[in-house]
Amino acid sequence: MNLADLARVRDKDLAGEASAPEARTLMHAIMSEEREPVAATRPRPKVRRRLVAGFAALATATAVAVGTGLVGGPATSYANAAVSINKTDEYFSVSITDPTADRHRFEEAFRAVGLNVTVKMVPVAPNEVGTLIGPIVPGGFKWHGSIGTQGITPCSSVFCAKVWMPADFPGRVVFGVGRPAKPGEPYADDSAGDPNGEEALSGYTSHGKTVADVRAELNRRGLKAGYRLMWPHQDGGWFEEAVPGSRVKDDWTVAGTRFHSSDTVNLYVTPGKDAGRAPSPHPEPQWWDMPD
């Protein structure tokens, strides 16, 4: 204790005759300080200053890293060479800058802002390379809030989107990032909507035409045909079944078309009266279920 740093007090202050803060401070310091015996002759340990300085620097660095993680929580923004994510009160803004990057770089960014997300690089058509596909919640989304994606234009990156997703959602969430499909490789399809009226062939309307007519147009363009029957549900809606061409009659009606790969177009066909009974619906493996 350095007495010179304390305020000057008078003898009567030490005797308790005054109650000034300076007196109380000095008295407390005198009464509470531990004192070593005067005759103590313990040798002082020799310490290497360089080693102490090294430990001090390490402790400081560790404290900063831990403090940021524990006190700050998830970041509100994060960016690396593949993607940048900004978190707002209502949504996450995602900009993809390198769709060819390793999927772990995308997962790194999502998790930095508090989202437990699995990312898969999935084959897509040329016009969808770099797009964010999903979010997909296997088993269905059952949580507060909403979940979805909306593209943003204009965009200075390869792809920009708003993602609505609760930051505390505990379930499995999968995103896809579109990569160029190899020749003939099936495209990842997250289109759960009704294909009725969709058209894959530029300048040609397949809706309402017979299977024979649409197949002839595909042959003319050097494309192959895939077939999916659209069976009605008893309680409304429909489900699809992938079938070989031998199961489809030429006079059945095409409801819509989608590209299956670079050289194949799927025909969504309404089964004719001679199609027989509808099979039991059974889920098909999807891209988000495939192993990495």
Phi, psi of 10 (to 5 degrees): -95, 170
CA end-to-end span of the chain = 66
pLDDT score of 211 more than 70: yes
Which tens digits make up the pLDDT trace of 243-262?
999 999 999 999 999 999 99
Q: What's the pLDDT band for 191 if we cut at 50, 70, 90?
A: low
pLDDT of residue 67: 24
Residue 161's CB is within 10 A of a number of other CB atoms, namely 18
Contact (CB, 8 A) for 269 and 230: yes
Contact (CB, 8 A) for 271 and 231: yes
Give one DSSP letter per residue of 272-285, joined into a string: -GGG-SPPPP-PPP
Percent of the chain scored above 70 by pLDDT? 74
Q: What's the pLDDT band for 234 if we cut at 50, 70, 90?
A: confident
pLDDT score of 156 more than 70: yes
Spatial separation of the C-alpha atoms in residues 111 and 34, rounded to whole Å: 51
Q: Which of 11-25, 38-52, 142-156, 263-277 is least confident?
A: 38-52
Q: How far is CA 272 from CA 241, 242, 243, 267, 276, in A?
A: 14, 16, 14, 14, 8
pLDDT of residue 21: 52
pLDDT of residue 291: 78
Contact (CB, 8 A) for 270 and 231: no
Name the β-bridge partners of 78. 85
Strands 264-270, 253-261: pairing is antiparallel
The dihedral of CA 219, 222, 227, 232: what is its sign?
negative
Averaged pLDDT for residues 6-21: 45
